[in-house]
Amino acid sequence: MFLNETQEEVRATTRSFVNAVVRPAAEALDREERFPAEIYEEMGKLGLFGIAVPEELGGPGFDTLTYAVVMEELSRGYASVADQCGLVELITTLLVRHGTPEQQKLLPSIMSMQQKVAYCITEPEAGTDVSGIRTTAVKDGEGWVLNGGKIWIHNAPVADLGFVLARTDKEAGNRGMSIFIVDLHAKGVERGPKEHKMGQRASQVGALDFQDVRLGPNALLGEMNRGFHMMMSVLDKGRVGIASLAVGIAQAGLEAAVEYAGTRKQFGKHISEFQGVQWLLADMAKDIEAARLLVYAAAMKIDHGLDATRSCSMAKCFAGDMAVARTADAVQVFGGSGYIRGFEVERLYRDAKITQIYEGTNQIQRMIIARELLKKGATA
C-alpha cells in the first residue's frame, strides 16, 4: 500500500532482520539494560543507519518515507533499536546539510557505528524551552573553549562524538547558539552515571559535563550563531521518526494481542470469541492504521518539498498518544499476564510512554498544530 518497489524491498529486508535478530533479543536487552553493539554492527552492514545520506557521500540515499518504514519495522522488534536509528538519522542529516567536506568524512564511521554519536541539547534548566541553555563556547584563538553540562542525553555513557548546542552570543537569544562537534574522549569531558528508565531500557541515557574542553577550528558545524535554527530544521524529520517508532510499538502490541486472544481460553472458549475482546482488537487496529497513514502523509510532504510542519506534529502527537493507549489495551487483552515482567506487552506499554515526551512533548506538538492553524488557516 503506497510503497514503491524499493520501499517494499527495504521493508522486507528490515522485517526479516528484525524477526530473526531484534525481536528475540528485546526482552533480555530490556532486563539487562544493555547496549546491543552486536545488533548495531549488523544494522550498519545492512545500511540501516544514515538512510537519507546521499550515495555520493556513501549512503543509500533513501527518502523520508523509506526512513519511516524502516523505523516502524525496527520498533516492532524493539523501540531502543529504532531510537538508535533515529538518532543517527538526525545527526547524519545535520552533517549532510551543514557539514564541511572535512566534517562529512565522519559519515562512514557514524553509519557503521564505529563512532557512536550523541545529540546534546537538554540541560537541567532547559528542556522544552531550549532558549534557556547555559552551556557556552567562547572563542579562543582559532578554536573555542566549551563549558557547561547536558542531561538525559541518549548514548551519553557510550558515545564518541557529541553534537553539542552551546551559547556563542549571550545577548542574542535563539540567534546566539551554535552546534559543535565534540570529541567525547577529550580532556575536560565527564560522563554522569547511566539513568535507569521506565522503558526503552537498552537505550543508554545520561549526563555530560564539559569543563574547559578545547575545540579546534573544525569543530563548528554550519554557521556560527545558527545552531538553534539548524536544530529546528531537522525536527520535522525527527518527529516523523518518533511517530513511526510509536506505530511500531503499537503494531507489536496488536500482533501479540491477536495471537494471545486466539489461544487463551476462558468459559470454554477462546477469548477472541468474546465481543468485548474483539472490540479492543478492532480499536487497536484502526488507530494504528490511522497513525501510520498520518506518518506516511507527513513523510511524503517532506519528500515532495511541501510545508510539512503541521503534518509532522500531528503524526508525532497522534502516534505517541495512540501507542500509549493501545499498548494499554494490549496489556488488557493479556489480563494479569500482561502486567508481569517477561510478557512482551508489559515492556511495550513502558516503551511507549516516552514517545509522548521526547522530540518535543505532545503538549508542544499541540501548540505547533494550533499555531500553524491560526497562522496559515484551517484548510487542509
Ligand X SMILES: Cc1cc2nc3c(=O)[nH]c(=O)nc-3n(C[C@H](O)[C@H](O)[C@H](O)COP(=O)(O)OP(=O)(O)OC[C@H]3O[C@@H](n4cnc5c(N)ncnc54)[C@H](O)[C@@H]3O)c2cc1C
Does residue 335 sit in helix, strand or coil? helix
Nearest Cα to Cα of residue 158 among 200, 103, 215, 114: 114
Using CB under 6 A, which of 88, 221, 352, 354 touches ligand X? Answer: 354
Query: Considering the complex, what minimum distance in angstroms separates the CB of residue 151 from ligand X?
Result: 7
**Contacts with ligand X in 137-176 (CB under 6 A)?**
152-154
Residue 87: CB minimum distance to ligand X, A: 7
Of residues 197 and 316, the one with the C-beta less far from ligand X: 197
Among 119, 260, 296, 334, binds ligand X (CB under 6 A): 119
Binding residue (CB under 6 A) for ligand X from 15, 197, 239, 347: 197
Quick count: other Cβ atoms within 10 Å of Cβ 219?
A: 20
* Cβ-based nearer residue to ligand X, 59 or 238: 238
Q: Cα(91)–Cα(99) distance, rounded to whole angstroms? A: 10
* Chosen residue from 315, 358, 365, 369 binding ligand X by CB under 6 A: 358
Based on CB atoms, which residue is closest to ligand X, 8 or 125? 125
Confirm whether 223 is a catalytic residue: no
363 is a contact residue toward ligand X (CB under 6 A):
yes
Q: Which stretch binds ligand X (CB under 6 A): 235-243, 248-256, 332-340, 351-359?
A: 351-359
Q: CA 312, 315, 316, 320: dihedral to nearest 10 degrees?
A: 180
Residue 219 to residue 126: CA distance in whole angstroms: 23
Among 72, 346, 359, 372, the one annotated catalytic: 359
- What residue spans of the chain are helical by DSSP H? 5-17, 23-32, 37-46, 64-77, 79-98, 101-104, 107-111, 227-233, 235-261, 275-303, 309-334, 344-353, 362-376
Residues 302-341: x/- map of binding to ligand X (CB under 6 A)? ----------------------------------------
Q: Pick the binder of ligand X from 65, 107, 205, 231 (CB under 6 A).
A: 205
β-bridge mates for residue 117, sequence order: 161
Query: Mask 60-99, x = binds ligand X (CB under 6 A)?
Result: ----------------------------------------
Angle (nearest 5°) at CA 338 between 72 and 292: 20
Cell of 169: 552570543
Q: What is the DSSP secondary structure assignment for residue 19, as one 8-state letter? A: I
Which positions are annotated as active-site residues? 359
